[in-house]
Amino acid sequence: MTLSEKNYAFVMHCGEMGSRWGFNRTIGQMCGLLIITKEPMTANEIADGLSISRGNVSMGIKELQSWRLIKVQHIPGDRKEYYAPAGTIWDMANRVFEERKKREIDPTLSLLRDNIIEEAHNDDERFAQQQMQEIHDLLETVTKWSAELQRLSPEQLQSLMKLGSGIGKVLDFKDKILKKP
């Protein structure tokens, strides 16, 4: 099975973007390939399709599984493992988002917390601590918010997303309502 020119371009683009999205080129390509391929693929098909080594695919699969982006499937009477995207595009985007939060925000939040609870010993530390407090508060707000979004039902999310420029209005509205009593 060979990719059409357009599909190949998409897969290569995913590779180029891979490192920006949090993984590396090969893994980006694998992800793109599995998304645009209707049927689940074997590791060998992936290796052939992308002209990379079998070992590399094996490692890539492990990584994609750690991101919960792909799932394994089996075909009766066939010993090979078949791989396919784990869920909808939306699901996958969510996973990437979550996983990145875990890698990009949580460690910093943890360090900041540790640092903030200790007392500052001089002016430099005092100033630094104020700054860290600000970063901490910001990250915590973002964290709470994203957790909140995850908790909304898909319908509510849809509704929220479609709100667009209506957000401001709804907020004003809410303020008016809540301030009355």
Partner DNA sequence: CATAGTTTTCATTATTTATTGAAACTTAAA
Partner DNA sequence: TTTAAGTTTCAATAAATAATGAAAACTATG
Interface residues toward DNA, by CB under 7 A: 19, 24-27, 42-44, 51-56, 58-59, 61-62, 77-81
**Burial of residue 29, with CB atoms counted within 10 A of its CB: 0-12 exposed, 13-18 middle, 19 or more buried:** buried
3-state secondary structure 50-90: HCCCHHHHHHHHHHHHHCCCEEEECCCCCCCCEEEECCCHH
Footprint of its own copies on this chain (CB under 8 A)?
3-4, 6-7, 9-10, 13, 17, 20-22, 35-38, 88-90, 93, 100, 103-104, 107-108, 111, 115, 118, 121-125, 127-128, 131-132, 134-135, 138, 141, 144-145, 148-149, 151-152, 156, 159-161, 163-168, 170-175, 177
Q: 26 touches which of its own copies, DNA, none (CB within 5 to 8 A by kind)?
A: DNA
CA 84 vs CA 46, 69, 100, 115: distances in Å: 11, 9, 21, 43
Closest CA to 1 of 50, 54, 47, 45: 45
Q: 58 touches which of its own copies, DNA, none (CB within 5 to 8 A by kind)?
A: DNA
Shortest distance (Å) from residue 18 CB to DNA: 8
Shortest distance (Å) from residue 38 CB to DNA: 19
133/130 Cα distance (integer angstroms) = 5
Shortest distance (Å) from residue 100 CB to its own copies: 8
Kindly tell me which of 78 and 148 has the beta carbon lying closer to DNA.
78
Q: Which residues pair with 41 in a beta bridge?
A: 83
